[in-house]
Amino acid sequence: LSRMRARGQLSELRAEDLRFNPIEITRLLNQVFALDLTQEQVIKLESRTEGWIAGLQLAGVSMQGRGDIPQFIDAFSGSHRFIMDYLAEEALSRQSIEIQSYLFKTSILERLNDSLCDFVLGFTSKGQSFEPPNQVLFPVISEEGKIRLAMLENLGLFIVPLDDERIWYRYHHLFSDLLRTRLQGHSPSSIPELHQRASIWFEKHGDIEASINHSLLAEDWDSANRLIDLYLPKYLENGQMTTIFKWLEQFPQEELFKRPKLCVQVAEMYSQAGLIDKIDPFLDKAEEIVTFYGNPEKSDGRSNENNLTVEEIIVIKSMVSILRGLKAVCSGHPQRAMEITQIALETYPEMSLKEQAVLYWVQGWAQRSLGDLNLALKLLIKGTKCANESGAILRDIWTDLGNVTRLVGKLPQAIDILEGSLQTAIDRGVPNQGNLSRDESFLSFLYYEKNQLDQAFTYAKRALTHTQWWPSHNIIATANVSLAQIMLARNDLDGSLIALQKAEDERKNRLMTPFVHNLVEVTWVQIW
């Protein structure tokens, strides 16, 4: 066959050719099965079935005569009775016990390659196999009997290649659902250990996001905490706030509250997301734990059960004060913020450069709110210098330096600062950097003031696009205010009202800096 394929003497029909597209799915379900599905419902079914015609037919049979079709479509999966029966009969029952064992165990993976699957199954270099407990139905596969993913593809076992080299694969969504349902039913106690092994493999191979996801699915909170602690700064620098939120949402609060470093990191995340009203419980708990330790300087330089170093405890204590200062600014008490942060600076003279940079940033915010823009500039320049010397990429400090430079009327210099910040990000080559959205929203205001409305509009739209990875209420509100002003300048009153209402919705009942509230209120006045 390979020779015939190379000579162009072979015509092949594969899954891609056979699967139904949305138009064909609509015809099948709405004409043949006399259903009245919306386009959105059709798209959902296409996503779940991946155009698999038998799956669509079974879905059509299942939906006939039902009154809860929207709910059925939302819940439609490989655990549905007809789908499960079909797949179990057509796909699983014909396979050997060894292949079934392989399929069940590897179904915990979103994507697969041979090395990963071997590790999850427990093959070692000596040919020994790890076997999770309670494997009643799943025999140990010998080293000699290793199953390869290409074999499964050749068997037509609902496996989809993800690259042309046939290295990475995934299971068809419905087939994967069935396998996981069977694994959960027959051997639930094996699942955490399978996820732990997947986490180890992904960490060794540099896919930290997948490693953390599997640690969380294994409910291995210590491992997840270790990985998040190590890599959260990098993900923040890369603007991947949405990813971090997904991790933290899976972390039980009682587990979070055991870990003071993680508590401070969560509080920092909420601050950057415009949810600063949520930070107090995390700061209180972090402070309570490190205070309970008393004097952390012991013979081994370590603290109690969290194994915190003296340096880490200083970071926690200083960040608690800094974030409380930031909340004071947002609450309309900038002078109080100055007092809190100044006390922290004097109390912790050994504070690292990175924390000093954040502290001067908060003080710069406070002075901006107090109306002393020149002092704000000096503090932000100081913060930028500390950040550069620390090696940390603290984009917010650059952004606010650019914004305050704009506020004192130095527009060309402000543009240079903000576009320089964007260029630095581009040079790093990291895609989807959501934290570029602050730079872009302020650049939008600058180009608006230069009456370059198309450029201003482009930056505002880019800022909003980037908030899908950096979902800050502050930034969404700010970018929409800019859009409202641009549209007003274009005599698009309706568009201006829609954009400003979105900004209003973002700031409603939320604790934000007076700067953001003032932007919204002044723009309402302009529209009125």
Alpha helices in 348-452 (DSSP H): 353-370, 373-390, 395-407, 411-428, 436-449
A 10 A CB-CB count for 61 gives 11
Single-letter amino acid code for the residue at 185: G
DSSP states of 58-94: HHHHHHTT-S-HHHHHHH-STTSHHHHHHHIIIIITT
112 sits in the region (left: phi over 0; alpha: psi -120 to 50; else beta) called beta
Model confidence, pTM? 0.78
pLDDT tens, residue order, the chain (528 aa): 889 989 999 998 888 888 899 999 999 999 888 888 899 999 988 988 888 888 888 888 778 777 788 888 888 776 777 777 777 777 788 888 888 889 999 999 999 999 999 999 986 444 444 444 444 344 445 455 578 898 888 887 888 889 888 899 999 888 888 899 889 988 899 999 999 999 999 999 999 999 999 999 999 999 999 999 888 888 888 888 888 889 988 888 888 898 999 999 899 888 888 888 899 999 999 999 988 765 544 434 444 566 788 888 999 999 999 999 999 998 889 999 999 999 999 999 889 999 999 999 999 999 999 999 999 999 999 999 998 898 877 878 888 999 999 999 999 999 999 998 888 877 777 666 777 888 999 999 999 999 999 999 999 999 999 888 888 888 999 999 999 999 999 999 999 999 999 999 998 878 777 888 999 999 999 999
Q: What is the CA radius of gyration of the chain?
A: 28
Distance separating alpha carbons of residues 514 and 396, to the nearest angstrom: 17
> CA angle, 90 as apex, 142 and 10 as ends, to 5°?
85
> CA angle, 310 as apex, 304 and 313 as ends, to 5°?
80
The encoded tokens of residue 121 equal: 């199954």
Secondary structure (3-state) at 129:
strand
Strand partners, 129: 123
Q: What pLDDT was estimated at residue 367?
A: 95
Single-letter amino acid code for the residue at 245: F
The encoded tokens of residue 136 equal: 């009643």
Distance separating alpha carbons of residues 251 and 270, to the nearest angstrom: 15
Q: Given CA atoms 369, 374, 377, 382 in this order, what sign does their dihedral have? A: negative
Q: What pLDDT was estimated at residue 428?
A: 75
Question: Of the candidates 402, 345, 344, which has an alpha carbon nearest to the alpha carbon of residue 368?
Answer: 402
